[in-house]
Amino acid sequence: MFISIVFIIAFTFVYFFRENYFSELVISFLPYIWAILLLMVIYWLIMLWRKIFTKKVIVPAKVSWSPIMLILSWVLFFLFFSELEVFYNQNFLEDNLDNPIKILYSNIYKDNNNFSWIIASIESENPDVVMFVEYSDEHENWLKDYFSEKYPYYDKTNWSRIYGWSVVMSKYPVTNFISDFEQEDSWKYGYFKIDKDGIPYYFYLLHTSSPVSSFDYQKRNQQFISVKKDFYQQHESSREKNSKIVMLGDFNVSPWSIFYKRFAQSFPLFNNITRSQKIFFSWNLAEMLKIHEDFSFLPQWFRDNVWYFPILWSHIDHVFVSDSLKVSDFKKIHIDWTDHDWMVFSIE
């Protein structure tokens, strides 16, 4: 019962105090909260059933915790499950497009040296545009010949000493606006245009700070504010009316975060196409921790297949598209040795 009380208090705090750093970390794994609460509901339902149908006399003065814990668990289960259900199953996808641009995006992971799989996966999908964040100098050395042959238009959008480059490789001309406006010294995002058949498509490529500390958490939240400010105050006048815009990347925030909700509400004419899934995970803590390499005490079969075990998966990569765009064929691809799935989709 003590453990149940701890969970009840913790999850109640998480639900009602969303701006707290602890709450932000916990809410990032909402499907697991839902699963824990479901187990608690089942457990306390069984305990209540046993009390009702046993012949044991209950002393009136003694408090029976079973109905209290069952009610509290059920209320929290319903609240969290409602958030999970409302977000997904939104159909923003078309069946077919006439003249699409195929996009491949991922946080490629700075230490991922699985170069043959990277090339094979790109070859298999044959996208028109490839966008990566955490693209390291080692990636550049190994992949530059391939990209220079297949994707003649190439640009780096920013560089981080720790997390490498954000890059775009395209079969169509790219105009990079990164030097056309000031950004925060500590962090930059990509903003560029791709022209296909005289039609401009505008892209924002984001990679925000990972909230691994309270400082980085605050920094990430400020980055969201900066993007919103720049989008409406600096960039809007330079784009055509009803422009075709894609805003995507590793946002390092889950859909259940209050900061995600504020960001999304700032772009009412955009749809997050990851919502079209029944449920969606884009990041796996097990891969980030390199369990398959460094956790030698674990069985080899587990380490070889760790990606497929639901160990702290989360949804922190997002693809926002303006309602002037049509989108089809959205899917994700798993590549070994990276903690993020790849996303592939077509726009028009």
User: 137: exposed, middle or buried (C-beta count within 10 Å: 0-12, 13-18, 19+)?
Assistant: exposed
* Domain residue limits, the chain: 2-87, 101-280+315-347
Q: Is the dihedral of CA 17, 18, 21, 22 positive or negative?
A: positive
* Least confident stretch, 72-86, 177-191, 270-284: 177-191
Average pLDDT over residues 163-185: 82
**H helices present in 54-184, as ranges:** 65-87, 115-125, 137-150
For 12-38, the pLDDT digits (tens) are 999 999 999 999 999 999 999 999 999
For 109-127, the pLDDT digits (tens) are 988 888 988 999 999 999 9
Contacts of residue 189, Cβ cutoff 8 Å, sequence gap at least 6: 157, 158, 166, 183, 204, 205, 206, 207, 223, 227, 249
Residue 264: pLDDT band (50, 70, 90) is very high
Domain 101-280+315-347 has CATH 3.60.10.10: yes
- Report the amino acid identity of residue 282: S
DSSP 224-250: HHHHHHHIIIIIGGGSPTT-EEEEEEE
Token representation of residue 3: 């453990």
Better-scored residue on pLDDT, 320 or 182: 320
